[in-house]
Amino acid sequence: MRELSLDQLRALVTVVELGSFSRAAERLHLSQSAVSLQIRELETRLGIRLVERLGKRAHASAAGIEVISHARALLEGARQVADTARRHRDGWLGRVRIGTGVSVLTYLLPPVLARLARTHRGLEIVLSVGTAVEMRRRLVDNDIDLGIIVAPVPERELRAEPLRSDPLYAVLPAAEKQAPRTITPAQFARHPLVIEGGTRMDEIALDWLRAGGIEPRPAMQVGNIEAIKQVVAAGLGAAVLSGDALLTAASRRGLVVRPLRPALRRDLLRVRRRDKPDDPALDTVCRAIDAALRTR
């Protein structure tokens, strides 16, 4: 049998990870037909079916699951070889793949990343955005090196370090200027609920309402925090947001912000695999994030 192609293995892992040939093609910067050809050639070379379509999603076959477990190790080894060569050749510090949510990326990480860019020109940072569940899965799969995500982190393969615990607030339309100084679940439930959709923050807010005897029924899923604020300012509902999104007067324009009763917090964690080897680039990024974000 001819030597295996790392490009074909990468295509296999990406298709199964994303459940889609078209999304895999976007991530790999290839055409969908090129990705399909790589999978077919790999299946022909190995003599087994690796990918199966169930409905509109692509899934690994039983054999494919085992092949992928070995493929990830090969791809990681190839990345380390390339990184080592580049470090010696160019004085490059290394690459760090960070995964986080939209809120953290929008309101917390930019100053940290800008400082790293100024002080460590040999450092390359690759950012991925998604839900906490997605980022935890990608950490387990070693598809990213570091996660900045909201608790909890139940996976045994991952080690979580606390960064900060931020209070959450009720965000109401400007017409609610006479709202009580603190907002209970019953008071909050008088307004249609606006959420981002599928995030850990949504789960925290929904659990808070349920604990107060309110069965939440989200009226709108908006997709990002800035859009949520615009929807609330237009008088179309209320939301629960972290203080990061409400720090400036401009960020609160058209909104009434009140603490919640009982109080509610978001615990932000820095997460990596327990077996992740020491790496100068990753250690540099971790120290920078701790210095900027960790609550002492």
Query: Residue 144 in contact with residue 253, Cβ under 8 Å?
Result: no
166-265 matches 91-163+267-293 in CATH topology: yes
Q: What pLDDT sits at residue 190?
A: 95
Beta-carbon contacts of residue 170 (< 8 Å; ≥ 6 apart) = 179, 183, 188, 238, 239, 240, 257, 258, 259, 260
Q: What pLDDT sits at residue 94?
A: 85
Q: What pLDDT sits at residue 209?
A: 97
**Which of the four pLDDT bands, split at 50, 70 and 90, describes residue 77?**
confident
**Average pLDDT score, the chain:** 92
Q: What pLDDT sits at residue 90?
A: 66
What's the CA gap between 200 and 207, in Å, rounded?
Answer: 11
pTM reported for the whole predicted model: 0.72
pLDDT digits (tens, 9 = 90+) for 142-196: 999 999 999 999 999 999 999 999 999 999 999 999 999 999 999 999 999 999 9
**pLDDT of 55 strictly over 90:** no
pLDDT digits (tens, 9 = 90+) for 182-209: 999 999 999 999 999 989 999 999 999 9
Tokens of 112: 């940290």
Q: CATH topology for 166-265?
A: D-Maltodextrin-Binding Protein; domain 2 (3.40.190)
pLDDT digits (tens, 9 = 90+) for 213-223: 999 999 999 98
**pLDDT of 20 strictly over 80:** yes
CATH class of the domain at 6-84: mainly alpha
Domain chopping of the chain, boundaries: 6-84, 91-163+267-293, 166-265
Q: CATH topology for 91-163+267-293?
A: D-Maltodextrin-Binding Protein; domain 2 (3.40.190)
